[in-house]
Amino acid sequence: MKIVLAYSGGLDTSVLLSWIKEKYDAEMIAFCANIGQEEELKGLEQKAKKTGASRIYVVDLQEEFARDFIFPMIQASAVYESQYFLGTSIARPLIAKGMIDIARKEKADALAHGATGKGNDQVRFELTAAALAPELQVVAPWRDGRFREEFPGRAEMIAYCDEKKIPVQASAKKPYSMDRNLQHISFEAGILEDPWMDAFAPKNKDMFKLSVDPEDAPDKSEYVTLEFKKGNCVSVNSRQMNPLGVMRTLNKLGGKHGVGRVDMVENRYVGMKSRGVYETPGGAILHFAHRQMETLTMDREVMHLRDSLIPRYAELVYYGYWFAPERLALQAFVTESQRNVTGTVRVKLYKGNIMVAGRKSPVSLYNPAIATMEADPTKAYNQDDATGFIRLNALRLKVAAQVQRKRK
């Protein structure tokens, strides 16, 4: 049996690689996706092979991540439960897709992951596998009672590595867990499981990696100009960039000014609530500026229809249905809605805030001559017409009021 494992080189995945190999008598192929986590990849190949992998693939997927996953999601204005920019959620389908590509190349029989049985990631990995490679088995050790019994805690994992001479750096458990990629960093578990605990207190400054504390941000604001074409950002501060370049640039600018921090209690797909803290500096700027561009260029009814679908789209991403037919169908509508979302937005960054400082477009639907409170030189709108408009829309309200009055 040949199994492809999502591998990072840390304690958990090192134990998983060795344990799965032993229990399943399998040839192990390690897979690591570079999606902007900027973790130290040096020596990963040697470590994986010493742990028992016959081969390791470290694949740079950053361009694909920005272009084919983050940007389509931004076009949909997707935010889960009005706060979460879906950084981890949107990355999992790409990682699983990368694993599947390697599994086919290696003619593997199964995929394996280290997601726990309590979280969302297990669903995201496995729904992607079901949609793209239903013939592959999935090995999930944390849902295997044998694994949980053998490793009830980190101490047992460290002891296992010592016994097996697995090269990992055994260290005390961090007071929280982290997940980083091009879109964000998430923090959860440990000290963050108390929702009353202030994650943004001065004592926790060292936890954050992508952004400074807004109170420590520059005292001078900074203006940033973003150019959009058909709903995608193609330029920052007059410099043409691909999606990856946009994300990297906005992450630096946003991080400098402490924007994009979120602390929320969210509803996991598996049924429980969890507390998460997020840094999404670039994604927050892009989401905000994109909406400003839409206000100028998108038809009202198209915008309202698209907006009504935001919760559904965000759920599909959060739950792991990226490759499901309903998400693809929604994306087709989103793409159509973005046809005229073209122009330039200027934002001001200041101590954790993102403020609009101007927008313009060659296809703007805003006509100051029509909207003006002064005399309309175009005569496109006759204020007298509003009388009949209001009367017709008020008819049902009047009828209902009369009926209710008779019943009293």
pLDDT in tens, the chain (408 residues): 999 999 988 889 999 999 999 999 999 999 999 999 876 677 788 889 999 999 999 999 999 999 999 999 999 999 999 999 999 999 999 999 999 999 999 999 999 999 999 999 999 999 999 999 999 999 999 999 999 999 998 889 889 998 988 887 655 667 788 899 999 999 999 899 999 999 999 999 999 999 999 999 999 999 999 999 999 999 999 999 999 999 999 999 999 999 999 999 999 999 999 999 999 999 999 999 999 999 999 999 999 999 999 999 999 999 999 999 999 999 999 999 999 999 999 999 999 999 999 999 999 999 988 888 888 788 888 999 999 999 999 999 999 999 998 877
Cβ contact 161:11 at 8 Å: yes
Kindly state the tokens that stand for 372.
Answer: 């003006």
Which among 271, 297, 327 is positioned nearest to 128, based on CA atoms?
327
Question: Which residues, at least 6 apart from 246, have a Cβ–Cβ distance to it below 8 Å?
Answer: 66, 233, 234, 236, 282, 286
| Amino acid identity at 60 | D
pLDDT, position 143 = 96
pLDDT, position 45 = 87
Quick one: what percent of the chain has pLDDT higher than 70?
Answer: 98
Backbone angles phi, psi at 33, to 5 degrees: -95, 125
Catalytic positions: 12, 92, 121, 177
Cα–Cα distance for residue pair 281/248, rounded to 1 Å? 10
The β-bridge relationship of strands 232-236 and 239-240 is antiparallel
Distances in whole angstroms, Cα of residue 253 to Cα of each of 212, 221, 316: 11, 11, 30
Backbone angles phi, psi at 312, to 5 degrees: -70, -45
Cα–Cα distance for residue pair 60/365, rounded to 1 Å? 41
Cβ contact 114:307 at 8 Å: no
pLDDT, position 397 = 97
Kindly state the tokens that stand for 82.
Answer: 């009005």
Could you report the per-residue pLDDT of 67-124, keeping only the tens digit for each?
999 999 999 999 999 999 999 999 999 999 999 999 999 999 999 999 999 999 999 9
Cα–Cα distance for residue pair 150/141, rounded to 1 Å? 11
Cβ contact 158:170 at 8 Å: yes
pLDDT, position 40 = 64
Beta partners for residue 139, in sequence order: 112
Cβ contact 48:207 at 8 Å: no
pLDDT, position 137 = 97
